[in-house]
Structure formats: C-alpha cells, structure tokens
Amino acid sequence: MQADPENSADSEASLQLVLFVDERSSSPKRIQPISSHLESLRADYPFELTVVDIGERPDLAEHYRLVVTPALIKIHPLPRQSIAGSNLVAQLKKSWPRWQRSLEEYQAQLRRELPLKSSEYLSGSAEFTESKQNSLAASAELVRLSEEIFRLKQEKEELLDQLQFKDQVMSMLAHDLRSPLTAASIALETLELGQQQEQNNYSEELTSALKSRLIKHARNQFSRMDRMITDLLQAARGSSSEFTIRPHKLQLREICQDVLTQMNEQFQLKSQQVKTDIPQDLPCVYADKELVGQVLVNLLDNAIKYAPAGGKIEVSILHRTAQKIQVSVCDDGPGIPEENREHIFEGHFRLKRDEAKEGYGLGLSLCQKIIRAHYGRIWVDAATKGGGCFHFTLPVYR
C-alpha cells in the first residue's frame, strides 16, 4: 500500500530533535530546564523530540560525535546543528530562530516539489525523502550498516589470512620435507642396490651392520618427517598459537655432527667445503632434538643453495654466556642486504633477486618460531669475508 504524499509531507514539515542524556545523578536537574522550555515552545512551533540514553545507544552518540551531555541536536531539516552543556536553555533561545527559519525554507521547498512527489508516489518509484534519510531511525540504520560492513571486512581479512596461511604451510612442507625425504630415499636405494648385488652374486655385498644402519637411518628420517608435519601445522595456526616443544638435556655437538653427516652428499654435489668450529667442552642445552635439528637443516640447506660451487660453509658454536649457547651457519654467497635483514624471517618475504627461484624465507619463518619457543633468538648479519651468517641461541641446561 502506497503512502499518501500529503500526509508524508505534513510529517516531514516539522523540526526533528534528539536529546541525548546519560545516567549521571546530576542529569535530571540539568535536563529538566530544557525539557520545560521545549514544552513551552511546542504549542506555537510543532516539533518531534526523541530522547536517547547514550548508555543504551553509544553507537548513536559516536555517530553524532557527541563530546558532552546533555546535548540537543536538530537533525531535520538540514543543516544539522547541535547544542550541549549546562546552559542548554540559553543556547536554545539563541538557536531557535535560526532553526525556525531553516524549517520555513524547507516547507516552502516542499510545497514547490509536492506535485512532483505525488507523481512519483503514483508511479511507485518514490525515493526516500531528505528528511527520512536524516531521521534518527535512518541514522541508527546507517550505524548498523557501517558496523556490518566493518564486520564483513574483518571476516574477509581473516579468510585471506587463512588462505595465505595454507599457502605458507604448503610451501614450508614442500621445502622442509625435501631433505629428510632425500636422505631416506638414498638409504633405501642403497639397500635395493645391495639386494640386487646379492641376487647377481656380486662380490661387493652390503654387510649386515651397514644394512642395519641404513634401515635405522631411513626409519629415523620417516619419523622426522611425521613429526615435522605435525609440528609445522601446529606452529602455523596463527601468531597467537604457541609452538609446542618437548625439550630435554642435549649434546648440541652431537646434533650438529649428525646433521652434517646427513647432508654430506649435498655438500659434495656442489664441491663445497664445510669448516666446523665446535668445542669439545660445550655444556648441554635444554632443547627439542628434532626441532633444533630441523633449524640446522634449514640453515645449511640455504647455505648450500647460495654458496657458489666450490664455496665455503662454516658451522660454529660459541658458549656465549652462562645461560646461552650460540650457533652460527655462514656461507660465502651473496648474503642478505642490510635493509632486508629484519624482514627475512617473515613467512612470505622474498628478496627481489630470488623471485624466480626458491630461497631464503620459506623455512626461515619456521626456524624463528622454533627458536622463539626455546626462548632463544635468531638473526642474520654479514659474514666477515662476505656472504650471509645466520645465528641462533639456545638455553644452557641447568
């Protein structure tokens, strides 16, 4: 059923006022004078008054940008005007003539446009009038829509973060699983080759001890991959999630030697020399063996990629303080530009020179999560003779 334009016009042709109040004990005394004065004006100057408690509608208070209460706002006709504070009556007496003039001007304009509005209603294409758009109800609806838009934007950002997270996890898994998968494959291929030699009665057969070592090595690598997948997914759930570790007393020297032995074939493929400086009398650390080994593998894997063929890689351990041990992995590759060193551990950060290939960044964010979970620190600087040098610290076992 269509609204009657003349009745709508009558409703629109009046002042629309909103009085904002609060629950302070002094408010009734401060509001009573303005309420009485408004009632005295109503007989000669019709208006619509809505009283709003800002405690119940803080959104409207924010929408109208209120600073103090009580406050009286003329929301229709435009322009919107407001008065606030303890002397509302005096301010209203001063503003009322101006508000009446704006109403008279609006009424005159409304009478001129009434024929056009009638035809719009009859054709069923009438739009909201200016007064309706600027009513209190419209303002409340505008606030609600604004809040809904803000909520949807937040949901969109969360969904984009989740998609980015999935991409990051897939990249990390593809990157960090490669080393143990390669090591396990080599062990199984060696066993397969030995079995073929036995079947062909070759003189060079694998000894039982070597077979046992290869089987154990392959089993360890598969266990490492299983643990890596579980912890990677847990670590990358979000910035608020903590990385779960299972620390115990460890000989860091033994872990380093195991990782270096594991990656020996990769060093040989590029004819790279590995120099170590690992003291014999290092104190034990309190850390998770598998995760610390994963950090070393990631850092050495990056060093292998960026050190040139025939280049040098250095692994050193320093008993830095009574509480910390520092591990360093350095190479003579291009290094990390100083302006990028603070960002290199971000999950999706890539150096421009590396955009077309894998490089620093895929596993480094995971390394940072692991080291921080051990209450350590990881950073990068320039090597003494050029190249890159990554360092991390672990707590001494006590």
Least confident of 103-107, 239-243, 297-301, 339-343: 239-243
248 shares a domain with 377: yes
Residue 165 CB partners (closer than 8 Å, separation 6+): 236, 237, 238
Q: Are 329 and 367 in contact (CB under 8 A)?
A: no
103 shares a domain with 19: yes
237 shares a domain with 249: no
386 shares a domain with 247: yes
166 shares a domain with 98: no
> Model confidence at 203, in pLDDT bands (50, 70, 90)?
low
Over residues 318-340, the mean pLDDT reads 87
pLDDT at 276 over 90: yes
Quote the tokens at residue 379. 């950073």
Q: What's the CATH code of the domain at 352?
A: 3.30.565.10
Q: Which pLDDT value is given to residue 275?
A: 95
> Model confidence at 198, in pLDDT bands (50, 70, 90)?
confident
280 shares a domain with 167: no
Helix axes 136-176, 178-199, angle to 10 degrees: 30
Pairwise CA distance, residues 32 & 182, whole Å: 84
Quick count: other Cβ atoms within 10 Å of Cβ 67?
9
Of the candidates 95, 110, 130, which is a domain's last residue? 130
Alpha-carbon distances of 171 from 164, 255, 317, rounded to whole Å: 11, 26, 29
Whether the full predicted model's pTM is greater than 0.75, yes or no, is: no
385 shares a domain with 324: yes
165 shares a domain with 61: no
Domain span at 317:
242-395
Of the candidates 241, 265, 282, which is a domain's last residue? 241
387 shares a domain with 253: yes
Q: Which pLDDT value is given to residue 219?
A: 82
190 shares a domain with 264: no
Residue 163 CB partners (closer than 8 Å, separation 6+): none
pLDDT tens string 213-223:
888 888 877 87
> Model confidence at 127, in pLDDT bands (50, 70, 90)?
very low
More confident site: 248 or 140: 248
HEC profile for the chain?
Answer: CCCCHHHHHHHHCCEEEEEEECCCCCHHHHHHHHHHHHHHHHCCCCEEEEEEECCCCHHHHHHCCCCCCCEEEEEECCCCEEEECCCHHHHHHHHHHHHHHHHHHHHHHHHHHHHHHHHHHHCCCCCCCHHHHCCHHHHHHHHHHHHHHHHHHHHHHHHHHHHHHHHHHHHHHHHHCHHHHHHHHHHHHHHHHHHHHHHCCCCCCCCHHHHHHHHHHHHHHHHHHHHHHHHHHHHCCCCCCCCCCCCEEECHHHHHHHHHHHCHHHHHHCCCEEEEECCCCCCCEEECHHHHHHHHHHHHHHHHHHCCCCCEEEEEEECCCCCEEEEEEEECCCCCCHHHCCCCCCCCCCCHHHCCCCCCCCCHHHHHHHHHHCCCCEEEEECCCCCEEEEEEEEECC
pLDDT at 7 over 60: no
pLDDT at 392 over 60: yes
Q: What's the CATH code of the domain at 46?
A: 3.40.30.10
Count of structural domains within the chain: 4
- Smallest CA-to-CA distance from 179 within 352, 334, 345, 303 is with 303
| Sign of the alpha-carbon dihedral angle for 134, 135, 136, 142 | negative
153 shares a domain with 54: no
pLDDT at 31 over 90: no
78 shares a domain with 58: yes
- Per the prediction, the chain carries an average pLDDT of 76
